[in-house]
Amino acid sequence: MPPKGQGKKKKEVDWADDEHFTKERSMIYIEHTYECPIFQTKADECGVFLQQRIPERKFQLVKNRYGHQVPREGAFEILFSQNARTSTHLLWSGLDRGPPRQDKFPMDYELLVPDVNRILKKFYPDKAVGVLDEDEEEEMEEL
């Protein structure tokens, strides 16, 4: 009997095609090395964190382009797009960080939330959560 989890490959979905596309689903692309299991664990944590932190959005986590991308040595990069048909934005790169290995990952995923909201606000101003307009930011600075 094969070990659990062997032989079951996650089905690759083209989130940009008409059948699966929705403006309500944001994409999180993570490139991570296979050097150590912690890289995959941290990638999964990031996806779960953003879904819990911004529950009004759907998030789809795509790791190493469904296995089609050969990750660079020591890679841990987080890219984000509003949906599957828009450009990606780099949120975090651990390529030039470390050792130690813990420096490859964001200390707190909360640090990514303002950038995610800024990207969402560009196209969906009514959907962004916790992002101040430029006028509101200036008012806050004056206080």
Q: pLDDT tens digits, residue range 44-54?
A: 999 999 999 99
CA 142, distance to chain mean position in Å, is 33
49 within domain boundaries: yes
CATH number at residue 37: 3.40.30.10
Q: How many domains does the structure of the chain reveal?
A: 1
16 within domain boundaries: no
117 within domain boundaries: yes
Can you tell me whether residue 59 is helix, strand or coil? strand
Q: How confident is the model at residue 75 (pLDDT cuts 50, 70, 90)?
A: very high
User: Sign of the C-alpha dihedral, residues 35, 38, 39, 44?
Assistant: positive
Q: Which structural domain range is residue 30 located in?
A: 25-142
Q: How confident is the model at residue 99 (pLDDT cuts 50, 70, 90)?
A: confident
Determine the residue type at 129: V
| 78 neighbors 91 (Cβ within 8 angstroms) | yes
83 within domain boundaries: yes
1 within domain boundaries: no
18 within domain boundaries: no
How far apart CA 106 and CA 76 sit, in angstroms, is 10
77 within domain boundaries: yes
Can you tell me whether residue 27 is helix, strand or coil? strand
13 within domain boundaries: no
Q: How confident is the model at residue 24 (pLDDT cuts 50, 70, 90)?
A: confident
- Residue with the bigger pLDDT between 28 and 140: it is 28
Predicted confidence (pLDDT) at residue 1 exceeds the cutoff of 90: no
Q: Which of 45, 24, 28 is nearest to 88 (CA)?
A: 28
Instruction: Order the strands of the 76-81 sheet from edge to edge.
Output: 58-63, 25-32, 76-81, 89-93
